[in-house]
Structure 1
Amino acid sequence: MSKAPLLQVENLKQYFPIKGGIFGRTINYVKAVDDISFHVNEGETVSIVGESGCGKSTTGRAILRLEEPTAGRVIFQGQDLLKLSKAEMRKKRKDLQIIFQDPFASLNPRQTVRQILEEALAIQNVVPRKQRRQRVIELLEMVGLNADQADRYPHEFSGGQRQRIGIARALSVEPKLVICDEAVSALDVSVQAQVLNLLKKLQREYNLTYLFISHDMGVVRHISDRIIVMYLGKIVEMGDKQSLFENPQHPYTRALLSAIPVADPRRKKERIILKGDVPSPIDPPQGCRFHTRCPFVMDRCKTEAPPMHKLGPQHEAACHLLEEGPVDYSQLLKEIKIS
């Protein structure tokens, strides 16, 4: 019998009302996340990737109820988080932590590192008061910082060091699931690699589970077990890392992968340039939401939303081209050129 997922998200929606008129009535909604479902198994890293505005960060915030979801279910360890009271959810947050994108904005500039970490320990009452000082030292050493740095303020650290403090704070309460919201995007490439390697090391040592949110497919490739691709509030493709990188089946995924830089200047790489801008989530296109920018658009794409098609044990994508199975895009492009 297979083990139940640590996190199961079902039909999650996050709509933000738009107020207008002299009475401030709701006149429309921003459909930031629109009916998505996925799961995360214990001990794995699942990444959500997409352009800015696709709904990936909103998904993470909705799971934690930092924004109250409009509809759906978020089942964590067999319990629906959306049915918990605020007091119950506050206690549950011990098991669900987040690492924010901006390491400087997420740390209180008036507190020392010791105070920041001790505050987290005190709120969730993880360790007795007398042991907190020692626990702070252990947390700093865990993320590659020194004990003598505990009484410094956030502005005295580099960006990479500040992010390590953010990681230490998230891990201080011994969570089961950590949501990494663009956790390395504000850092230099060399520092990104150090933080990613640290996250992987901590995952191995403490059996952590990550929901990793990023716009960078190169970063996602380095850390993920499975990948979810989002576009305009919808999941368009998801699968294990090998399937998705070696045989991407949604046109949008192919465009994202083509944007990954190649280190070898002699190696030619076909770049897929998408035309136009991402449509507004206030009034998304009918049918397939990607049809306004898709190079393979058909008439039915403009009226009929495609279902998710199973392409392998862990690989599925939402595209009308996939009704009869995986597509050979090199052959399809030849046929388009001939016609």
Structure 2
Amino acid sequence: MSVQEKKILLKVEHLKQYFPIKGGILGRTLNYVKAVDDISFTIYEGETLSIVGESGCGKSTTGRAILRLDEPTSGSVEFDGVDLLALSKKEMNKMRKNLQIIFQDPYASLNPRQTVRQILLEAMEIQNVLPKNERDKRVLELLELVGLSAQQADRYPHEFSGGQRQRIGIARALSVNPKLIIADEAVSALDVSIQAQVLNLLKKLQRELGLTYLFISHDMGVVRYISDRIIVMYLGKIVEMADKKTLFENPQHPYTKALLSAIPSTDIDRKKERIILKGDVPSPINPPTGCRFHSRCPFATDVCRTTNPELRKPKHSNEGHLAACHHMEEISSPKPLNI
């Protein structure tokens, strides 16, 4: 199915999320943390779109802004034809049955005083998704769906392992029959072997239930396994966007190349050049002028320091591949660069 034939489920345009920094006796706003600074993207029905980047790049803030857990500063978020930012809080609460989130910490996101049954029933009650007499049966169905047993329904969160708790978090998200699930670092707190189990579960549920995922992660290996398309973010901006195959085989932005070079390889015959970025990520309070990445980029020139590069299609690449770099044609190479 071509991109034109796919149905757009979520459309984000010019999203900004600035957090005020207050100080002084009167508590005036002194500055802003520009966590997300003018980003636009779409998610198609039934796909997994991943956002990847270092800590502090704005990926989790993007997920929270879409759900209005933090009210966005400006921009538009359109879900299934409905402008989410135009809804009242009451209307947004009703809409949340269609958009659910799985949090990073499966223990902190579950009420320790409630049993699994109570956690799942509470979600169904808030959104009024089923008649009362059918909810208990649905609880047991959900537990089976995520790989837990009916006998575990009356246990408390502390009686489960980390992987099992994340399965409970997934069951809670599924309990209201959502169309879109935002997985915010959903496997980063788990052991590698458990990560694989949870990722396989998410893929299985997507096939069976027709789910759409926005998957947020800092781990390129995880993203490679679960994604259809990938967005790379740096300091509140999108620097590259492409389908998985294109991004991993033909990255265009120097930052993407550096991220990919950090993935461990099991191929002992293939020498892999590691790209080490100099310096630290600049502060989102006072981000660099021009290209946000220029202070760490080995290819930066004067134009990078003064002019912000627009996302554009690289030459000799496929439709849907966009990158924001002034010099990507000159530095482009299918292999990691020797810097």
What is the TM-score normalised by the length of structure 1? 0.95
Q: Is the 8 A contact 2:309 2:324 kept in 1?
A: yes
Q: Show the counterpart of 2:258.
A: 255
Match in the other structure for 1:317:
323
Secondary structure of 1:309's match? coil
Q: CA-to-partner distance for each residue in 1:52-84, whole Å, 9 max, x for gaps?
A: 000000000000000000000000001110000
Structure 1 equivalent of residue 333 of structure 2: 328
Alignment of 1:158-177 (within 5 A): 158-177=161-180
Q: CA deviation at 1:263?
A: 2.6
Matched, 1:129 2:132: yes
- In structure 2, the partner of 1:242 is 245
Structure 2 gap segments, 5+ residues each: none
- The answer on whether the counterparts of 2:6 and 2:45 sit within 8 Å (CA) in structure 1 is no
CA distance in 2, matches of 1:218, 1:332: 20
1:217 alignment counterpart = 220
In structure 2, distance between residues paired with 1:4 and 1:247: 27
Match of 1:156 in 2: 159
Offset at 1:314? 1.5
Amino acid at match of 1:327: S
Q: Is the 8 A contact 2:275 2:337 kept in 1?
A: no
Deviation at 1:331, TM superposition (A): 11
2:198 pairs, out of 174, 195, 200, with: 195
Match of 1:228 among 215, 226, 231: 231
Equivalent residue letter for 1:163: Q
Q: Give the alignment partner of residue 301 of structure 1, picking from 301, 304, 312.
A: 304
Distance 1:326 1:255, change over 3 A: closer
Q: What is aligned with 1:33?
A: 36
Separation in 2, partners of 1:107, 1:315: 38
Show the counterpart of 1:108: 111
Change in 2 beyond 3 A, CA 1:273/1:331: closer
Letter in 2 for 1:318: A
Mapped to 2, the partners of 1:50 and 1:329 lie a distance apart of 20
1-structure distance, mates of 2:68, 2:180: 14
1:97 aligned residue: 100
For the residue of structure 2 that corresponds to 1:285, the secondary structure is coil
Amino acid corresponding to residue 228 of structure 1 in structure 2: I
Distance in 2 of aligned mates of 1:21 and 1:294: 37
Q: CA deviation at 1:266?
A: 5.1
Aligned-residue offset at 1:298: 1.0
RMSD, aligned α-carbons: 1.5
Q: CA deviation at 1:327?
A: 2.1
Could you tell which deviates more after superposition, 33-42 or 261-270? 261-270
- 1:294–1:241 Cα change, 3 Å: same
- 2: distance between equivalents of 1:2 and 1:107? 39
Which deviations, in whole Å up to 9, do the C-alpha atoms of 1:189-209 show, x marking residues without a partner?
000000000000000000000
Change (3 A) 1:244 1:156: same
Percent of aligned positions that are identical: 76
Q: CA deviation at 1:29?
A: 0.1
SS in 2 for 1:111: coil
Alignment size in residue pairs: 333
Deviations 1:249-280 (A, max 9, x none): 00000000011111345542110000000000
Q: Which moved more, 1:219-228 or 1:313-322?
A: 313-322
Q: Which letter does structure 2 place at the counterpart of 1:235? A: I
1:153 CA drift (Å)? 0.4
With 123-132 and 179-188 compared, the bigger mean Cα shift is at: 123-132
Shift of residue 332, structure 1, vs aligned partner: 7.7
Distance 1:268 1:328 in 2: 16
**Equivalent-residue separation in structure 2 for 1:153 and 1:261 (angstroms):** 38
The C-alpha deviation readout for 1:18-57, integer Å capped at 9, x for no partner, is 0011110001000000000000000000000000000000
Measure, in 2, the Cα distance between the counterparts of 1:117 and 1:168: 7
CA distance in 2, matches of 1:222, 1:71: 33
